[in-house]
Amino acid sequence: MSNTQLTEPLAPDRRNPAGAVKRNKNAKIPMSGVGRAQRREAIYLVIPSLIPVLIFSVAPLLIGIFIAFTDSTLKRNHETQFVGLDNFARLMGDQYFWESFRIGMIWAFSVTALQLLAGMGLALLLNSNLKFQGFTRLLALMPWAMPPVVVAIMWRMIYSPNAGPLNAALGFFGGPDSINWLGNFDTALPAVIVVGVWVGMPQTTITLLAGMQQVPMELNEAASMDGANAWVRFRSITLPSLRPIITSITSLNFIWNFNSFGLVYVMTEGGPGGKTMLPMLFTYIEAFKNRNTGYAAAMGDVLVLVVVGLLSVYLWTQFRGERNS
């Protein structure tokens, strides 16, 4: 806090008297001005947070885009050369990358959809006057609070083919025994998707719940008097008022899920046979295990383009929503 700008007296901005005229009520409010002096002051205040961002975020991003056009590697005695679009051409024909892209899309789509469905169900339950509410709320937040590594370790135990409780429970009900959930080609992806839902549900639930609590209670009561049953009330009152929240969390969740790494990496490392190889895992392995940083950066470029595309869809829905309301 050694910024000298802060010690200046809080005088109204003399250089911009027009501002004072226009917003008479705020004329004396010290720091809400729009004058040049205030703007300079604001920039000084923001600079400390801008510097690390420029060094550790913006610069690497630009370099990252550039590296994709070189044959950069992490191998010793290798001179990096500019190779133009070679990496991208190779990427087009890389069936493993596109397979991981497909798996990433399946993963992001299923997790997001199930997260929304399950989260909506739980939010509805928490919004009705049932018992054990406080307890359920706290429990529902736990997955969110835990370190992803711990979640992954915990679910590896649940899915364990040897003394895992899931197999034991299935065995108890006469199901097949000793399924290697995370090691089996057919079950690995669904198994990690379930964990993705487990982790992501709390946030969706709490957001939806907070939205539901803003719906005026009288609306529901009135509808109930008119004989509308729970389903009708949900469809014609709750759902429409939640629509902006639903579009917004769905698009954000999709992007987050598409970007996810740690959870699946600790559970399967992308196996068995690449069946859970999310795009981020694939790129990580190419960059830091195979040490082909140039080629991996090209993958990163493509993935960033996808996310930017999704992001613009999200922003567009937000913008449209704002204009309509």
Contacting other proteins within 20-79 (CB under 8 A)? 28-34, 38-39, 41-46, 48-49, 52-53, 55-57, 59-61, 63-65, 67
Q: Which of 232, 243, 315, 316 binds other proteins (CB under 8 A)?
A: 315
Q: Is residue 277 part of the contact set for other proteins (CB under 8 A)?
A: no
| Cβ atoms < 10 Å from Cβ of 235 | 11
Q: Which of 18, 89, 142, 232 binds other proteins (CB under 8 A)?
A: 142
Q: Is residue 304 part of the contact set for other proteins (CB under 8 A)?
A: yes
Q: Which of 88, 98, 109, 284 binds other proteins (CB under 8 A)?
A: 284
- The pair of three-digit structure tokens given for residue 159, joined into one six-digit string: 């899915």
Q: How far is it, in rounded angstroms, from Cα 84 to Cα 71? A: 9
Q: How far is it, in rounded angstroms, from Cα 26 to Cα 33? A: 8
* 82 beta partners: 70
Q: Is residue 109 part of the contact set for other proteins (CB under 8 A)?
A: no
Size of the site for other proteins (CB under 8 A): 112
Rounded to the nearest 5 percent, the helix, strand and coil shares of the chain are 70, 0, 30
Judge whether 291 and 75 are in contact, CB under 8 Å.
yes
- The piece of 95-103, 108-116, 181-189, 303-311 that touches other proteins (CB under 8 A) is 303-311
Q: How far is it, in rounded angstroms, from Cα 285 to Cα 277? A: 10
Contacting other proteins within 159-188 (CB under 8 A)? 162-165, 168
Shortest distance in whole angstroms from residue 28 CB to other proteins: 6
Q: Which of 112, 143, 179, 196 binds other proteins (CB under 8 A)?
A: 143
Q: How far is it, in rounded angstroms, from Cα 162 to Cα 179? A: 9
Shortest distance in whole angstroms from residue 289 CB to other proteins: 11
* Distances, alpha carbon 190 to alpha carbons 169, 242, 253, in Å: 18, 29, 18
Contacting other proteins within 201-220 (CB under 8 A)? 201, 203, 206-207, 209-211
Q: Is residue 222 part of the contact set for other proteins (CB under 8 A)?
A: no
Q: Is residue 8 part of the contact set for other proteins (CB under 8 A)?
A: yes
Residue 91 or 156: the one with the smaller Cβ distance to other proteins is 156
Q: Which of 288, 290, 312, 316 binds other proteins (CB under 8 A)?
A: 288
Element at 139 (helix H, strand E): helix 133-145
Residue 34 or 239: the one with the smaller Cβ distance to other proteins is 34
**Among residues 259, 278, 260, which one has the least CA distance to residue 269?**
278
Q: Which of 91, 113, 146, 219 binds other proteins (CB under 8 A)?
A: 146
Residue 88 or 137: the one with the smaller Cβ distance to other proteins is 137
Shortest distance in whole angstroms from residue 89 CB to other proteins: 19
Q: Is residue 232 part of the contact set for other proteins (CB under 8 A)?
A: no
Q: Is residue 239 part of the contact set for other proteins (CB under 8 A)?
A: no
State yes or no: cis peptide before 48, omega within 30 of 0.
no
Backbone φ and ψ for 38, nearest 5 degrees, come out as: -65, -40
**Helix axis angle, 95-127 relative to 279-288, nearest 10°?**
130
